[in-house]
Chains A and B, each alone.
Chain A
Amino acid sequence: MKIVVCVKQVPDSAAKVVVENGKVSWGDAPLVINPWDEYAVEAALRQKEALGGSVTAITIGGEGSKDALKHALAMGADDAILISDPALVNMDTQATAQVLAAAIQKIGGVDMAFFGRQALDGDAGLVPAQTARLLGWPALTLSSVIKVDGGSVKVERGIEEGRQIVTAKLPAVFSLTKDFGEPRYPSFMGIRKASRAAIPTWSLAELGIPAPVSVIAWPEIMNPPSREVTCEVISGGSPQEIAEALADKILAEKVL
């Protein structure tokens, strides 16, 4: 089974993210592998463990993005590729998908491509389905259970109403949700291996595609309006009296 997992480097979820002088800042918070992508790496590794084969982690970005690849390697991925090119900046999701689809095709013979459900920074959640569409592969997004049987796969996908059970033929694209199961921690040996790993860099020329054209622009990024609330603390009396007073306050808001 030839498996690819696509990852991204993002600010830690505990970061306080603000706009300062028109630029997004996350202070001194660390950049980490996108938390959703850890589930994708976990899913990729479990498929490899069950079926044999290899796991290749790929990302798009600068030198710093190698850290996300090293995290995947430390978890157990076999190798990693950094896709880096000065033209690959401010990409929208369909441009990102074009690059990833080209990389998956260049790797060749891929059976399964795994993604996190969305990136914690842009929050779009479009790249997995868009990459699948470009490859002409089934998009098995929001999967929480994956069972491969020969050349086909059965997944359970999270939908608003519960789960949808779908079968499809491989190759296919998968995006993972948190209820797939906890991602493993990098092992000590894994971290040592990752720190020594040679990570090749592919440019657009090596991918053999022109620079993708982004059509979405971001003219302004803002801090959200601050919430002007002062908390009215309900106190005094028995729990029953407090509850009565609180219920009256909530009802007086006329939103129930």
Chain B
Amino acid sequence: MTASELIKTLSARLGVSQARARVVVESYVAGITRQLKEGNLVILRNFGTFGIKPVAEKRAYVPAKKSLCLIPAHAKLYFKPSEKLRAAASEAKPHE
């Protein structure tokens, strides 16, 4: 499902124009982004959790240079699906 399909479906279900549906999605995403930017954990019930977690420094192989490099410690955005979403996904029939 592409972003435009999402907006079309949403506009049909809410009974609003597609332009309005796009604004709703954009401000919803902006709200999540704003909370993540402050370092907060965003918990969407029955869907999942967005958060920022620290990653320790590690050695990694660079195939292009055939050498090793040191990746410094950093923080990474993650999404953890909720129990319900995970259960639904594991029962879904495989695609392709």
Query: Is chain B a partner of chain A in the same complex?
Result: no
